[in-house]
RNA sequence: GUGGACGUAGCUCAGUUGGUUAGAGCGCCGGGUUGUGGCCCCGGAGGUCGGGGGUUCGAAUCCCCUCGUUCACCCCA
C-alpha cells in the first residue's frame, strides 16, 4: 500500500506456489535442451557495456534507450545484461571453448534486464532461457535450435502457436537489399507516417512492421528480401526449411520479419501465440555468423534462440494447462500439550536427515493450530506426539489426505514413514493459486 | 518517451445525488472439540480510503497536482 519500499517498476516477487511452478517450467525447458545435447553455461549478470554496444548494435532500441548501465567505483562501465547471446559468445571466446571441440552447444537460463515501459508480457527484469550452437553453419543446426521451442511447447501441451521464418541475408546480399529498399522508400516517402520516415533512415526493414494502413499500402510493392538473397543464402535457407519439414514442424515464411538485434544473419525466426495480447512472441532467435569476429575472435558461425519464461507461463495459464502440483511437505511433527518439545525436534531432525521433508511448530501453538498449519503446508502426514505416546514409545501418524491414523513405535518411525510415503499416491490438490 | 484506464483491509471488491463510528467475501488469530486439519458456528485483529493541496458546515465521493499500477504505442522474450 503506502509502503515505503516496493519492488522496482517492472520487476516482480514470485511467491509460493507460483515460485515452484516457475521453477518447474524452467526445469522442463532445461531438460529438453539437455535432450538435444546442450550443456549449461552460467555467465555473469553484468558485462562490460561495450560488449552489448558492439554486438547488439549502436542504433538499436536496446542499446540507445533500454540498457541499465552504470559506472562502477573503478570507473568501469558495466551493464545489466539485456540478452544472453553476446555474453555466451564472449565466454566462448574468453574460455577458448573452441578447443573443446566444435560445435559448442550451450544453454543458459537467467534474468535479463531492459528499461522499457512495462505492459502485459513485458517486464524490466524477465527470465530467459536460451541456447547457442557455436561453430557450425549447417542448416540442421538452425532447424535444431528452432525445434527446441516446438518440442517444449508440445511437451507442455500447448497449441495455438505458429513459427515464422525469414532469412535476412548475409554481409554480401543484405546491404544491397537494404540499399534497394531504402531507394524504394525514398520514392514513396510522402505516404509514410512520421515513424516510418524515421525508420526509412535508421533501419528501412522496420517499415514493414508498421500497422498504419497508408504505410502498408505504400510498401506493398516494395522489393522482397527473398529475391535479393545471394545463392549461398538461398541455399542455406532452403536447407533450414527442408530440415523443418522433415521434422514435421510447420512454419510460415514472413519476408517482412526483422529482429531487433543487428547481429542476425540468414535465419531469423519467432514463435507467436494467439490470445496473448500485444506481446505475443514467446520465443525467437536466429543465426549470427559474424558476431564472434565482431567481438574480436576468429570467424565462427553460430545460431541461437531465447525464450521468455513469463510469457510461456502466461500461455500455459491462458490455455488452462497447469498440470503441475506444487510440492507439499512429507511430514509435520505436531506435539500435544505437555509433550517434550526437545524430543519432538529431535525426531524432526532425524526425519530430515533421512530425506523426509518435514517441519514442526515453533510458535508454541495448540494442537489444533498445528494441524491447521500442517494442512496449509500441504503435509501428507502428521506425526502427533504427546506425553502418553512418549511414555509408551509410540507416535500417532495421520494421513491428512485420507483422514486415517495409526500408531508406530517411535524407534521405527523413520523407516515406517519413509515406507508409507514411498507407496500411496497423492490425490491432486485443488489449486487456490491463479497467477502462476 | 507518448496515450488511455484504474488506485478503499493481506487478496478480490461494495460504498446510493458529498452527510456522522468505512463495509462484505476470502485469508489471518482465537474459541466451539481440556490431544486432531480440510466442512459448519461464534468472536477478534487488521484501513493515514495511494500521497499532497483545494472547494465545502462536512470529502472515499467534486477539482488540481503528484506517485503508483495496468493496458496500448515504440520495440521486444
Which bases of chain B come closer than 7 Å to a protein CB? 1-3, 8-11, 28-31, 33-38, 47-48, 50-51, 68-77
pLDDT at A191 over 80: no
- Checking each nucleotide's C1' against the CA of A390, the nearest proves to be B35
Report yes or no on A222 lying in a domain: no
- Checking each nucleotide's C1' against the CA of A206, the nearest proves to be B75
Report yes or no on A195 lying in a domain: no
Closest CA-bearing residue to C1' of B26: A432
Report yes or no on A197 lying in a domain: no
Rg for chain A (alpha carbons), in Å?
Answer: 28
Specify the pLDDT at position A433.
42
Which of A318, A347, A380 is the endpoint of a domain? A318
Residue A231: pLDDT band (50, 70, 90) is very high
Residues 6 or more apart in contact with residue A57 via CB below 8 angstroms: A63, A261, A262, A263
Same domain, A340 and A283: no
Same domain, A389 and A275: no
Report yes or no on A101 lying in a domain: yes
pLDDT at A432 over 60: no
- Checking each nucleotide's C1' against the CA of A405, the nearest proves to be B36
Same domain, A281 and A418: no
- Checking each nucleotide's C1' against the CA of A3, the nearest proves to be B50
CA/C1' separation A375–B40 (Å): 18
Q: In whole angstroms, what separates CA A261 from the centre of its chain?
A: 19
- Checking each nucleotide's C1' against the CA of A434, the nearest proves to be B11
Same domain, A23 and A118: yes
Q: What is the CATH number of the domain that holds A376?
A: 3.40.50.800
Same domain, A292 and A349: no
Report yes or no on A188 lying in a domain: no
The alpha-helical segments, DSSP class H, found in A247-382 are: 291-294, 309-318, 341-353, 367-376
Report yes or no on A194 lying in a domain: no
CA/C1' separation A119–B61 (Å): 30
For residue A376, what are the domain limits? Answer: 331-422
Q: What is the ipTM of this complex?
A: 0.88
CA/C1' separation A400–B34 (Å): 24
Percent over 70 (pLDDT), chain A: 96
Specify the pLDDT at position A435.
39
Q: What is the CATH number of the domain that holds A41?
A: 3.30.930.10
Q: What is the per-residue pLDDT across A246-277, written as a single tens digit (0 to 9) for each? A: 999 999 998 888 777 888 999 999 999 998 88
Report yes or no on A178 lying in a domain: no
Report yes or no on A12 lying in a domain: no
pLDDT at A153 over 90: yes
CA/C1' separation A386–B77 (Å): 54
Instruction: Summarize the confidence of residues A302-330 as an average pLDDT.
Output: 90
Mean pLDDT computed over every residue of chain A: 90
Flag the least confident range among A78-87, A89-98, A125-134, A214-223.
Answer: A214-223
Closest CA-bearing residue to C1' of B33: A368
CA/C1' separation A5–B59 (Å): 29
Same domain, A357 and A301: no
Q: What does the alpha-carbon distance between residue A357 and residue A367 come to, in Å, rounded to a whole number?
A: 20
Q: What is the per-residue pLDDT across A2-26, written as a single tens digit (0 to 9) for each? A: 677 889 999 999 998 889 999 999 9
CA/C1' separation A1–B10 (Å): 10
CA/C1' separation A376–B26 (Å): 15
Q: What does the alpha-carbon distance between residue A145 and residue A147 come to, in Å, rounded to a whole number?
A: 5
CA/C1' separation A279–B77 (Å): 9
Instruction: Summarize the confidence of residues A272-299 as an average pLDDT.
Output: 94
CA/C1' separation A5–B19 (Å): 36
Same domain, A124 and A42: yes
- Checking each nucleotide's C1' against the CA of A271, the nearest proves to be B77
Which of A318, A347, A382 is the endpoint of a domain? A318
Bond prior to A103 in cis (omega within 30° of 0):
yes
Same domain, A46 and A78: yes
CA/C1' separation A257–B45 (Å): 58
- Checking each nucleotide's C1' against the CA of A130, the nearest proves to be B77
Same domain, A105 and A254: yes
- Checking each nucleotide's C1' against the CA of A83, the nearest proves to be B77
Percent over 90 (pLDDT), chain A: 71
Q: What is the per-residue pLDDT across A31-51, written as a single tens digit (0 to 9) for each? A: 999 999 999 999 999 999 999
CA/C1' separation A5–B47 (Å): 19
Closest CA-bearing residue to C1' of B9: A1
Closest CA-bearing residue to C1' of B35: A336
Specify the pLDDT at position A427.
67
Handedness of CA A35, A38, A40, A46 (dihedral sign): negative
Closest CA-bearing residue to C1' of B10: A1
Bond prior to A416 in cis (omega within 30° of 0):
no
Q: What are phi and psi of A112, to 5 degrees?
A: -125, 160
Q: What is the per-residue pLDDT across A60-76, written as a single tens digit (0 to 9) for each? A: 889 989 999 999 999 99
Residue A306: pLDDT band (50, 70, 90) is very high
Handedness of CA A290, A296, A299, A303 (dihedral sign): negative
Residues 6 or more apart in contact with residue A194 via CB below 8 angstroms: none
Closest CA-bearing residue to C1' of B48: A2
CA/C1' separation A156–B39 (Å): 35
Q: In what order do the strands lie in the sheet with A46-48?
A: A46-48, A77-80, A68-71
Same domain, A356 and A277: no
Residue A436: pLDDT band (50, 70, 90) is very low
Q: What are phi and psi of A332, to 5 degrees?
A: -115, 125
Which of A278, A297, A318 is the endpoint of a domain? A318
Same domain, A367 and A260: no
Same domain, A267 and A365: no
Q: How many structural domains does chain A have?
A: 2
Residue A426: pLDDT band (50, 70, 90) is confident
The alpha-helical segments, DSSP class H, found in A1-94 are: 18-35, 49-56, 61, 85-94
Amino acid at each position: 500500500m503506502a509502503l515505503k519500499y516496493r519492488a522496482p517498476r517492472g520487476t516482480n516477487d514470485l511467491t509460493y506456489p507460483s515460485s515452484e511452478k516457475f521453477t518447474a517450467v524452467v526445469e522442463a525447458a532445461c531438460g529438453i535442451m539437455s535432450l538435444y545435447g546442450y550443456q549449461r553455461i552460467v555467465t555473469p549478470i553484468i558485462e562490460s557495456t561495450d560488449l552489448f554496444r558492439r554486438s547488439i548494435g549502436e542504433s538499436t532500441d536496446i542499446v540507445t534507450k533500454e540498457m541499465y548501465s552504470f559506472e562502477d567505483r573503478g570507473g568501469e562501465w558495466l551493464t545489466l545484461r539485456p540478452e544472453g547471446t553476446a555474453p555466451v559468445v564472449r565466454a566462448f571466446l574468453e574460455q577458448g571453448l573452441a578447443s573443446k571441440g566444435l560445435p559448442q552447444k550451450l544453454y543458459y537460463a537467467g534474468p535479463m534486464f531492459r528499461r522499457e515501459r512495462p505492459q502485459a508480457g513485458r517486464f524490466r527484469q524477465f527470465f530467459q532461457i536460451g541456447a547457442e550452437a557455436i561453430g557450425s553453419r549447417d542448416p540442421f543446426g538452425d532447424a535444431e535450435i528452432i525445434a527446441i521451442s516446438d518440442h517444449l511447447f508440445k511437451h507442455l501441451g500447448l497449441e495455438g502457436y505458429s513459427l515464422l521464418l525469414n532469412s535476412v541475408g548475409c554481409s554480401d546480399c543484405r546491404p544491397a537489399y537494404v540499399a534497394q529498399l531504402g531507394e524504394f522508400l525514398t520514392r514513396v516517402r510522402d505516404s509514410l507516417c512520421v515513424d516510418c520516415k524515421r525508420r526509412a533512415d535508421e533501419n528501412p526493414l522496420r517499415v514493414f512492421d508498421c500497422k498504419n494502413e497508408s504505410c502498408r499500402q505504400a510498401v506493398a510493392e516494395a522489393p522482397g528480401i527473398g529475391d535479393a538473397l545471394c545463392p549461398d543464402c538461398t541455399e542455406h535457407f532452403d536447407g533450414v526449411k527442408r530440415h523443418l519439414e522433415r521434422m514435421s514442424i510447420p512454419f510460415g515464411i514472413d519476408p517482412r520479419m526483422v529482429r531487433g538485434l543487428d547481429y542476425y544473419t540468414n535465419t531469423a525466426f519467432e514463435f507467436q501465440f494467439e490470445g496473448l495480447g500485444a506481446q505475443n512472441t514467446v520465443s525467437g532467435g536466429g543465426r549470427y555468423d559474424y558476431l564472434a569476429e565482431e567481438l574480436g575472435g576468429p570467424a565462427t558461425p553460430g545460431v541461437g534462440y531465447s525464450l521468455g519464461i513469463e510469457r510461456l507461463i502466461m500461455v500455459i495459464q491462458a490455455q488452462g494447462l497447469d498440470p503441475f502440483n506444487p510440492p507439499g511437505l512429507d511430514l509435520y511433527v505436531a506435539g500435544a500439550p505437555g509433550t517434550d518439545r526437545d524430543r519432538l525436534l529431535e525426531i524432526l531432525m532425524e526425519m530430515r536427515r533421512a530425506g523426509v521433508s518435514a517441519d514442526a511448530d515453533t510458535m508454541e501453538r495448540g494442537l489444533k493450530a498445528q494441524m491447521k498449519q500442517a494442512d496449509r503446508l500441504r503435509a501428507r502426514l502428521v506425526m502427533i506426539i504427546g506425553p502418553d505416546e512418549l511414555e509408551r514409545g509410540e507416535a500417532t501418524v495421520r494421513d491428512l489426505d485420507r483422514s486415517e491414523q495409526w500408531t508406530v513405535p517411535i524407534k521405527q518411525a523413520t523407516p515406517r514413514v519413509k515406507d508409507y510415503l514411498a507407496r500411496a499416491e497423492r490425490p491432486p490438490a485443488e489449486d487456490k493459486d491463479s497467477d502462476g
